[in-house]
Amino acid sequence: MLYGPGEAWIEDFVDAPWELEAATEPAGGWHGAFFVHSQEDPWEVEGRLRTLSGRAAIPMLVCYVETSDFGYALALGRGELVGRYVVNAHSADIFVEGVWALEQCVALHGRDWQQTAVEALASWSVATSRPLTTSQLNAILAGRHLFPEVPLFNMLGLALGIEAPDPHPL
């Protein structure tokens, strides 16, 4: 799931091997888009997103989930890495993509990356309509989740005010 202010960036991102599966209702001036891809590795995707965020001069939030085992959040500010966080880090190290995500968190935030990452995400969140504190982000992201999609796809965007609530909840 990708979030960014406005919607022009969505069209800039749609090309092979990407397919736009769904878009969220705009909220707080932000749009969300769920893309499906098959060929690019997360590190290639991150490079494309950094370029797009920098070229469009916008903040972005990226949420990625690997087979419901772990998830990865990336906050960008005008192409610059601001924060990274791995949800269900305990499950990430059995995947090449998970090992990479954990290494990237340590590289950006240091060995105690989890606390530093939430602090960075809280700092980044001032770009949204509803900035969150480190305590609020910890409540959403930390711990073990049966499905990392829940905090990353269902809770984070809503809490930040960048995703509209589902008008027809189950």
Lowest-pLDDT range of 6-10, 49-53, 87-91? 6-10
- In the three-class reduction of DSSP (H, G, I as helix; E, B as strand; rest coil), residue 27 is classed as strand
pTM (2 d.p.) = 0.91
Beta bridge partners of 35: 20
pLDDT at 81: 94
Beta strands 18-23 and 30-37: pairing type?
A: antiparallel
Burial of 87 from C-beta contacts in 10 A (0-12 / 13-18 / 19+): buried
Helix (H) or strand (E) holding 97, with range, is helix 96-109
